[in-house]
Amino acid sequence: GAVVSQHPSWVICKSGTSVKIECRSLDFQATTMFWYRQFPKQSLMLMATSNEGSKATYEQGVEKDKFLINHASLTLSTLTVTSAHPEDSSFYICSAASGRALDEQYFGPGTRLTVT
Amino acid sequence: AQSVTQPDIHITVSEGASLELRCNYSYGATPYLFWYVQSPGQGLQLLLKYFSGDTLVQGIKGFEAEFKRSQSSFNLRKPSVHWSDAAEYFCAVSGGGADGLTFGKGTHLIIQP
């Protein structure tokens, strides 16, 4: 149980375009979802926390107008990178936590974004 | 602000030897502590976690970790490593509840035959 999927697993887009990444909890309802960013050979950095039906809370230094997060249902959160630039190229990972066990997060496999 | 320090960027261990990965944290209250493993092309897998109670925590794949409040440490150990343990290991801390995780920079484990 507790499976989280992400789609797509990798995406290449041109500079200036937008790209949407989906994060789904497959077998549980996720009241809270988190988005992380991981640069090559580096650690994961928390970008934002989203609760179903409310606005996401962004970490300091993360541009909310650039990284749009929507958590419209208890099983789906999306991250849209708007007007992508090469410096946005990274590995984006989501995690999900259920209301019963918010102390543990279940991670998706990640999405590799390359902006050319 | 909370932080996690993993002082060893790379560690090389011979197969069958024991392993200890270090983790120090900074957190103002009682921390929730985690160890994750990340293999190439795969997502993060939870090895073990500490919330409260017994300070020696048993995890999957033969791993254990010991919480030492006086040293602000949560070191990961394994008595005998296998070649399949080669991966990136991350220590993380949170305040629990709906808090996101703060990760250390990771330790890259290399297993020598």
Q: Dump pLDDT digits (tens) for B80-105.
A: 999 999 999 999 999 876 788 999 99
Using the beta-carbon criterion (under 8 Å), do B101 and A34 form an inter-chain contact? yes
Rg (CA), chain A: 13
| Residues from chain B contacting residue A93 (CB–CB below 8 Å) | 43-44
How far CA A22 is from CA of A6, A17, A50, B70, in Å, comes to 5, 17, 13, 42
Host H or E run for residue B50:
strand B44-50
- Taking each continuous run of H as one helix and of E as one strand, the counts in chain A are 0, 11
Q: How many CB atoms lie within 10 A of CB B15?
A: 14
Residue of A37, A44, A77, A106 for testing the chain B interface, max B β-carbons within 10 Å:
A44
CA B98 to chain centre: 21
Rounded to 5°, angle at Cα B104 from A4 and B113: 85
What pLDDT shows up at residue B76?
98
Strand partners, A107: A95
DSSP-derived secondary structure letter, A1 = -
What pLDDT shows up at residue A97?
87
| Residues from chain B contacting residue A44 (CB–CB below 8 Å) | 44, 90, 101, 103
Is residue B26 very low, low, confident or very high in pLDDT (cuts 50, 70, 90)?
A: very high
Size of interface A-B (CB pairs under 8 A): 51
Terminal Cα distance for chain B, rounded: 41
| Residues from chain A contacting residue B106 (CB–CB below 8 Å) | 42-43
Q: How many CB atoms lie within 10 A of CB A85?
A: 11
Asked if residue B58 has pLDDT above 70, the reply is yes
Tell me the average pLDDT of chain A. 91
pLDDT digits (tens, 9 = 90+) for A43-95: 899 999 998 888 899 999 999 999 999 988 999 999 999 999 999 999 999 99
For residue A4, the chain B residue with the least C-alpha distance is B43
The A residues from 32 to 71 touching B (CB cutoff 8 Å) are 32, 34, 36, 42-46, 49, 51, 59
Tell me the average pLDDT of chain B. 93
| Residues from chain B contacting residue A33 (CB–CB below 8 Å) | none
